[in-house]
């Protein structure tokens, strides 16, 4: 009996110290068209039960995420089912041929909402990343007095010609980062540029930073792009905020 009480007490202490709890993440589509949000849980954890779904304009869906949790959300656009029954999307496709992404990430360019929940003594870290390019504007709103990073600009409209990704009708549907487009070390922060002191902003990352000052524009953009929150709040992600 005493052993069980002790184990129970230690479990509670563990949950308290490491912040294990459930976090509700509500995804809202404020775009004028249907989108297909998706999520990917980082390695070492099993995927959420819902890894991709359709979301009509103005609709919301809530997901319950077990914390600690590390993963990302994005949204696909221009999705359809082809003659063979395969589901594909014009941007951020995850390659499963289905609406569910089943652990796959989205093909760049894709604007990302990244979370590391209950990471460090219960502290959450979250950010918007354009390191893999941009496809949709988005914001992250903690249900607490914490920073609301907002990337509301239509980066596609302003995208430099060499980074543009066009749809079948010729419209710009995504904007690649320079790393994705050119795959060079100074843009990808690899090789001789693999540290925060050697990898500096470039004219291309500065384009993204100017459009969305609160989003990652390159890998070492932490000081102005990474936010934290304590107390285990719920979060909202809004596409086309
Ligand atoms: C960025 O710099 C490269 C190399 O110097 C140049 O070719 C390119 O036109 C510049 N792009 C922008 C958007 O300023
Ligand atoms: C998060 O949302 C759930 C479901 O609405 C609610 O039960 C829970 O109390 C919320 N958590 C916080 C910390 O507000």
- Mean per-residue pLDDT, 69-86: 97
The 10s digit of each residue's pLDDT in 29-77 is 999 999 999 999 998 899 999 999 999 999 999 999 999 999 999 999 9
Provide the whole-model pTM.
0.92
Kindly report the protein residue whose alpha carbon is nearest to atom 4 of ligand 1: 203
Gap from CA of 12 to ligand 2 centroid (Å) = 19
What pLDDT score was predicted for residue 4?
Answer: 52
Residue 129 has pLDDT above 90, yes or no: yes
Residue 103 has pLDDT above 80, yes or no: yes
What pLDDT score was predicted for residue 9?
Answer: 47
Distance of alpha carbon 235 from alpha carbon 209, whole angstroms: 24
153: confidence class by pLDDT, cuts 50, 70, 90: very high
The 10s digit of each residue's pLDDT in 210-234 is 999 999 999 999 999 999 999 999 9
Gap from CA of 26 to ligand 2 centroid (Å) = 11
**How many CB atoms are located within 10 Å of the residue 175 CB?**
26
82: confidence class by pLDDT, cuts 50, 70, 90: very high
| Site of tokens 């904007």 | 175
What pLDDT score was predicted for residue 43?
Answer: 84
Run of H or E including 237? strand 235-239
Strand positions, DSSP E, 121-229: 123-129, 138-142, 150-151, 164-166, 172-175, 215-216, 227-229
In the chain, the domains with their CATH numbers are 22-155+221-239 (2.60.110.10)
Kindly report the protein residue whose alpha carbon is nearest to atom 9 of ligand 2: 234
What pLDDT score was predicted for residue 10?
Answer: 47
232 within ligand 2 shell (Cβ under 6 A): yes
Gap from CA of 203 to ligand 1 centroid (Å) = 6
What pLDDT score was predicted for residue 7?
Answer: 47
26 within ligand 2 shell (Cβ under 6 A): no
42 within ligand 2 shell (Cβ under 6 A): no
Q: Are 152 and 140 in contact (CB under 8 A)?
A: no
Average pLDDT, the chain: 93
């Amino acid at each position: 009996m005493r052993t069980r009480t002790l184990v129970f007490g230690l479990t509670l202490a563990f949950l308290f110290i490491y912040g294990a709890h459930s976090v509700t993440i509500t995804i809202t589509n404020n775009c004028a068209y249907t989108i297909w949000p998706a999520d990917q849980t980082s390695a070492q954890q099993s995927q959420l039960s819902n890894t991709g779904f359709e979301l009509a304009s103005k609709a919301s869906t809530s997901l319950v995420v077990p914390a600690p949790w590390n993963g990302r959300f994005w949204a696909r656009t221009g999705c359809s089912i082809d003659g063979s029954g395969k589901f594909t999307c014009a941007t951020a496709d995850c390659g499963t041929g289905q609406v569910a992404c089943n652990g796959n990430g989205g093909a760049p360019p894709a604007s990302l909402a990244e979370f590391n929940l209950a990471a460090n003594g219960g502290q959450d870290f979250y950010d918007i990343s354009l390191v893999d390019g941009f496809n949709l504007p988005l914001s992250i709103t903690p249900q607490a007095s914490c920073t609301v990073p907002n990337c509301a600009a239509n980066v596609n409209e302003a995208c430099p010609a060499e980074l543009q990704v066009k749809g079948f009708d010729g419209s710009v549907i995504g904007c690649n980062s320079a790393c994705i487009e050119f795959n060079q070390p100074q843009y990808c922060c690899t090789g001789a540029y693999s540290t925060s002191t050697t990898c500096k902003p470039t004219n291309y990352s500065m384009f993204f930073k100017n459009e969305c000052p609160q989003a990652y524009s390159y890998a070492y953009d932490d000081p102005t792009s990474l936010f934290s929150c304590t107390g285990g709040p719920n979060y909202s992600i809004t596409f086309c905020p």
